[in-house]
Structures are given as C-alpha cells and as structure tokens.
Amino acid sequence: MNHRILVLTLAVFAALGAAPAQAQSLRLPAASASAVVKPVVPVVGGGQQAADFIVAVVNSQPVTNNDVRAEARRMAQQLAQQQNAPKPTAAELTSEALERLIRKKAILQFAAESGIRVSEADVDQAEQSVARQNKLEVADMLKRLAADGITVSQFRKQLREQLTLTRAREREVDSKLRISDTEVEQYILSQKSGANPADLVINLAQILIAVPEAATADQVKSLQEKATRALERARAGEDFTALVKELSNASDKANGGQLGLRSANRYPQLFVDATQSLNTGDVATGLVRSGAGFHVLKVIEKQAAGLPAMTVVQSRARHILLRTSPQLTETAARTKLEDFRKRVAAGQVDFAVLARENSQDGSAAQGGDLGWANPGQFVPEFEEAMNALAPGQISPPVTSRFGVHIIQLTERRKVALSPREEREAVREMLRESKLEEAYATWERDIRARAYVDMREPPQ
C-alpha cells in the first residue's frame, strides 16, 4: 500500500454521525455518495519551501500561498489517479485550488456560527475508521504518516474539518431536500408510458426445444408438439424453472433458463416482439420459432431504462459480535472469534449456539440471525465482508465501529421490490440526481455571503 495516499472513504464518513455508544443497530440507511468530500493526506517534502504570504482573506481568516500550493498538489495527485482526466495548466490548477480553499473556509466558518461541533471522540472514531480502511492499527498508520512529515495534529485537524464539512452539508442540504409523492408518481408514469420498446431493460427466461438442422418434417412436427405441451404447462402455472430443467435443450437451464437483464436491443427481435406487450411474470401466448428451435418465453423482469432495478438480491446472515473495551482489546476479540470460527468449521459446535452464548448484540437470542436484508442495510465494512461469502461460509473476524464480528451467510435470494419499495427506490434515485446541484447551489450561496479580500503577491 502507498501510505502517502491514505484515503478517507465515502463509506467511512457516512458512518461517522454518532459515537459508538449511541449506535443501537447494525443496520444503517444507504449513504449518499455525493454527501461527502474525499480528501487525500497531502504529500509533504520535496524542494525548498517558498516564502509564505497571504493571498486572500475569507471574512477574517487568511489563505496563504503555501495553503494553495499544498491544495494544488493534492488536486494534482487526485487527477493523476484518474484515467483520461483532463490535465489543467499550472495556472488553472492554482486558481481552482484557491477557489476550493475559499469555499472551504467559508463553509467551516458558517458551520462554527451555526453551532456545528465535532468532539474529540468523533475525531478518535474517524481516526480508527481510516486505519481500518487501510488495514492498519492506528499506531502504525500514524507512524507512516509521520514518516511522510505529517504530524498527528495535522492529520486530526483534517479529520475534524472533513467531519464538520460533512455535517454542515447533511444538515443544510441532505435533510432539506425532499422529493414529493407527486414527483415520484409523475416520473414513473412518464417512464412507463413514454418508453420505446427499444429502451426497455428486460430479463427473459426460455425453454428451448431444439430442432436439428437436418430434421425431417415429421421430426419438426413432433418437436413442435413437445414445445406446445411445454407452453401449455407453463401458462397453466407450473413452475417454470422446473420445466426448464425437465425439457429445455439450452445451455442456460442451470440458471432457470434466464437470459439475463439487458437492454431490449441486445435480445433477438423475435423475442422482443413476442414479449413487448407482456408484464413481469407473464408467459408468451405462442411459441417463438428461430433457427435453433422452438422457444417458450417468460418475462422475469421488465423496466424502463430510466427506472432503477425493480429486483434486489437479499442476503440472510447471522453474526457473533464482541464489543471491545479496556477489558477486551480488539486483538483479543479477534483471537477469540477466530477460535469460534475454527470450531464451527470443524463441526464441533453450532454457530447459533455460540451466538446465543457469546454475542453482545440484540440478535443473540435468535442465534445471531439478522433476517433478510437489502443491499445497503448494514454498515459498509460488515456488508463488504458478507458479500464476499457464499452460503454456508464464515468470514474471518471483521472490525466495525460496533466491535468485532464473525459473519455466516446462510442464504441469498433475488426478490422483486414491492410497489412501496419501488416508489422509494425511484424517490432515492431522483433525490440523488438533485443532490449534486443542490450542493453546488448551497456552496455558491455560502461563498457569495462571505467577504473575500483577494491580495496581490508581494513585489
């Protein structure tokens, strides 16, 4: 790992709103990716420091030439990590760096005047989160920063400023942006009523009764009759997946005959024509004849391209949580949970029994079972570890701000969203689409209200 670029990830800052003692549930709402800035620890060193001077005063606080140089270096680092990013000139980079610092100081001053405070405990938690994201102990992370010339006080100041900016934006923008029921309904109606068939995103499942190239007329007739019987059974309500396994000659039968969610123009036009008037769950009324044979088609999913996915992969997991304390260090908790994991894997004890006896979480009484969960319901570090598991597998110890866990994935399924969930998915999509503009408008307003005195460099 390049320890010069310790990134404060979006997932970390989405989780920093409350101290650990206040956290009552492992589940959190999905975070807005655009709600936070993603700073990078500056690279210090290299070359003699130029004489410093003030280039601007924001209300009563100065912005120095060295501040601008450091910000420009950070921006250059970020651009270097982005493929195909435009390469601004040195003058353009310096100008943008100065403007960023002016906006930042104006917002920090606004936050202070508005009573937004970040405690030492909040900064401690942020420091620990950054260390976890970089797979380091806090002490090791601080040593690496020190090797780059970054002091603990400098690093904690950056964390405090980031938290302050985030909370100001959450309070002034996130919490005030509302999407009405009328907007949601109008958007859904416009997408569905105005959707061109070619703009649809669909997932079809098929039963293929293959017809050999050299088949005789009698063979074709017999195979068509077989396909017709399959169609009749499917339309009568028999389980389509079971029919696929029993009858289909296609290679996709292991997946229930599903061809995958894709735009309509990536399907054969014959398939699109046969299913364009159908709703999700419907089976086409007739057979589709192609060069491969006879197809029985079912619509698994259909949506306008402008709508969010109307199905979701849910996970069901259970966990054992040990909360760290002066009496139980993180290292000791990880050692204890690793022993639990090995004992369960060896068949010596049941996971649920260990959870009931040891887990320090409200789910302990249920054997650690967390129930069915949609994506985004768990804190990021927990969800990332859970998503890497196959059903039945147990994770190594995972550290979150709640403590240390081991996680066992028990089941995974794909389900359709309910009408209420569909509307909420559209609401969140519309909200996300408006957040960036709302942030920009708010920042411009704060910048416009600030008194900014631009200074000429000394001669």
Cβ(316)–Cβ(409) below 8 Å: yes
For 407, list phi and psi in degrees, rounded to 5: -125, 135
pTM over 0.85: no
pLDDT > 90: percent of the chain: 47
Residue 133's nearest CA partner among 6, 239, 31, 315 is 6
Report the CATH superfamily, name and number, of domain 10-179+441-454. Answer: Porin chaperone SurA, peptide-binding domain (1.10.4030.10)
What would the two tokens of residue 68 be? 């601008």
| Rounded Cα gap, residues 333 and 338, in angstroms | 9
10-179+441-454 and 311-416 share one CATH topology?
A: no
Closest CA to 386 of 410, 416, 351: 410
CATH number of the 311-416 domain:
3.10.50.40
What's the pLDDT at 97?
92
Q: Is the pLDDT of residue 424 over 80?
A: yes
pLDDT of res. 152: 93
CATH topology of domain 196-304: Chitinase A; domain 3 (3.10.50)
Domain boundaries, the chain: 10-179+441-454, 196-304, 311-416
User: pLDDT tens for residues 31-75?
Assistant: 322 223 333 333 333 344 557 899 999 998 999 999 999 899 989
Which three-class secondary structure state does DSSP give residue 304?
strand
pLDDT at 198: 57
Residue 40 and residue 22: Cα distance in Å, rounded?
Answer: 28
Give the model's confidence band at 111: pLDDT under 50 very low, under 70 low, under 90 confident, else very high.
Answer: very high
| Per-residue pLDDT reduced to its tens digit, 301-360 | 877 666 666 677 889 999 999 998 889 988 899 999 999 999 999 999 999 999 999 999
What pLDDT shows up at residue 74? Answer: 87
% helix, strand, coil for the chain, step of 5: 50, 20, 35
Query: What pLDDT does residue 11 have?
Result: 31
Q: Are 71 and 50 in contact (CB under 8 A)?
A: no
DSSP sequence for 373-411: E-TTSB-HHHHHHHHTPPTT-BPPPEEETTEEEEEEEEE
